[in-house]
Amino acid sequence: MFLKRFNRTGKILAFIGIWVAAIGIAFNKTRGVPKTNIPELLASFSVPLIVTGILLLIVSNFFRGK
């Protein structure tokens, strides 16, 4: 698995980043889960969640194991 190359902090950041980005994609109206009634408040948070998840994945690359 790709998490073997990270230390503990990197694994936590990568795991949280994956889930945050996945939740952001699920709440997105154009690419999200079809035929669901997503409130407008959650739809407006989708792009910041995706960006935050991607940033966490990028930051996790700086926490490499030895």
Tens digits of residue pLDDT in 41-64: 777 888 999 999 999 999 998 888
Nearest Cα neighbor of 60 from 2, 1, 17 is 17
CA–CA distance, 59 with 6 (Å, rounded to integer): 11
CB 22 within 8 A of CB 46: no
Better-predicted residue by pLDDT, 41 or 9: 9
Better-predicted residue by pLDDT, 58 or 39: 58
pTM above 0.95, yes or no: no
What's the pLDDT at 6? 78
What's the pLDDT at 16? 95
Name the band, by pLDDT with cuts 50, 70 and 90, for residue 32. Answer: low
Query: Any alpha helices (H) in 28-62, and if so which ranges?
Result: 40-44, 46-60
Tokens for 36, please give them: 């669901």
Hey, what amino acid is at 8?
R
